[in-house]
Amino acid sequence: MELSFRWYGPNDPVKLTEIRQSNANFIVTSLHQIPTGDKWPYEEIKRRKNIIHKSNLYGLNKLDWNVVESIPVHNNIKLRHSNYKRLIDNYKDSIFNIAKNKIKIICYNFMPIIDWTRTQLDFKLPSDVHALRFNYIHILIFEKYILKLRDIEKRYSRSLILKAEKEFKKMNNKQISNLKCAVMGGLPAAETKYTINKFKEMLKLYDDINKNDLRNNFSEFLKQIIPVAEENNIKMALHPDDPPMELFGLPRIVSNYDDYNFIFNQYNSRSNGMTFCVGSLASNYKNNIYKIFEKFSQKIHFIHLRNIIKDNDKKSFTESGHLDGDVNFIKIIKKILNEERRRKKTYKNFHIPMRPDHGHCLLDDKYKKLNPGYSVIGRMKGLAEIRGVIESLTIKND
Ligand code: DNO
């Protein structure tokens, strides 16, 4: 595996000098300063690459940029609305310019309106560390009491609505405002920090879009971008919906085995692949993560290793320590190593890029202002645990 670490660029409170101490050899990053929909110029990509390479002069452990995560897809493309044709052309140009800079993998997603969603960014675990949490009831509270949507009875049962009402009464102002901020753009990589009105406007735009429409719009997008990726030897790695369940009444199309099956059948190409995000896929109790890996192993171009513990309601979850959650990491890492062994027979570079996805906020990191989920120490701990498993699974008999 190519041991990688996400870096949010020069504005990231986590510095390259710190990442270098983690045993990672690769950087996963994006040009977050470029507005969603704009083309990524060749020079700006090169500038970011140079920043990473320049920092290598001061350290022995060399870092290189292996994966772009992500080029966000503009909502107008998802909706096939207004200027979407020009936006797709820009996306193609960005792919071309990334390839010219010799980066070969691009992670992206097709979630409507917002990227990943959590409802609490500082959930205290018994060990006193902070974790990210997704509480389904809080999504209902967000819809009913923050967005003040009227049609929630269509999506939620009466008993759940009553439960939410009780829970909402117990929440103080700070908790309500934290929930609002977490959902509407408090997470890193969020494309936009929405206001309530803007969020509602966006929901309106999706009013007439059902799952089939969104699938069709995505297929059209694939037909446009995959040939460009193929020509330029780029692998597109589609990230699953996080979490993989419908939120705010919006359709989701990258949540499970059937969705990926559909997507890969739409366009059969080695450039049309996936980001295998363990934590995202595992947070839907219906997903068999091991089966998804087996079925699509050849399509996996990038891996996120993160673990979760699901609540009894089967919808809420807390991000756990990497080795402590619902997913058996030994089993999944074994499968990844097997896939690499298989690739070794055919490809020179058979290593799959992998980053420890998220980490708890612990020790000194608790006193720093960091991107939620993207602590230094917690992620380093995750990477160290993962490395331990990799080493013990690859050790030669002495
Ligand atoms: C969260 C991340 C997501 C991911 C994008 C990929 O931690 O996994 O922001 O980068 O959804 O397009």
- Rounded to whole angstroms, how far apart are CA atoms 190 and 36? 10
Active site residue 239: yes
Give the E-state strand segments of the chain in sequence order.
Answer: 2-6, 26-29, 64-69, 105-108, 120-124, 130-134, 235-238, 272-277, 300-305, 307-310, 317-320, 353-356
* Pocket flag, ligand 1, residue 115 (CB < 6 Å): yes
> Catalytic annotation on 74?
no
Sign of the alpha-carbon dihedral angle for 152, 157, 158, 159: negative
Per residue in 199-228, pLDDT (tens digit) is: 999 999 999 999 999 999 999 999 999 999
For ligand 1, the distance from its centroid to the CA atom of residue 323, given in whole angstroms, is 21
- d(C-alpha 113, C-alpha 342), whole Å: 38
Q: Is 81 annotated in the active site?
A: no
Given pLDDT bands bounded at 50, 70 and 90, which one contains residue 61? confident
Question: What pLDDT sits at residue 199?
Answer: 93
Q: Which of 74, 138, 301, 304 is catalytic?
A: 304
Ligand 1 pocket member 189 (CB < 6 A): yes
Mutate to test the pocket of ligand 1, among 67, 242, 277 (most ligand atoms within 8 A of CB): 242
Backbone angles phi, psi at 42, to 5 degrees: -55, -45
Q: What is the mean pLDDT of residues 66-87?
A: 97
Give the Cα separation of 156 and 362 in Å (integer): 36
Q: What is the pLDDT of residues 11-32, one digit of tens each?
A: 999 999 999 999 999 999 999 9
CA of 391 to the centre of ligand 1 (A): 27
The model's pLDDT over 311-330, given as tens digits with 9 standing for 90+, comes to 999 999 999 999 999 999 99
pTM greater than the 0.75 cutoff: yes
Options 130, 138, 239, 360, the catalytic residue: 239
**Secondary structure class of 148 (helix, strand, coil):** coil
In short, whether 206's Cβ falls inside 6 Å of ligand 1 is no
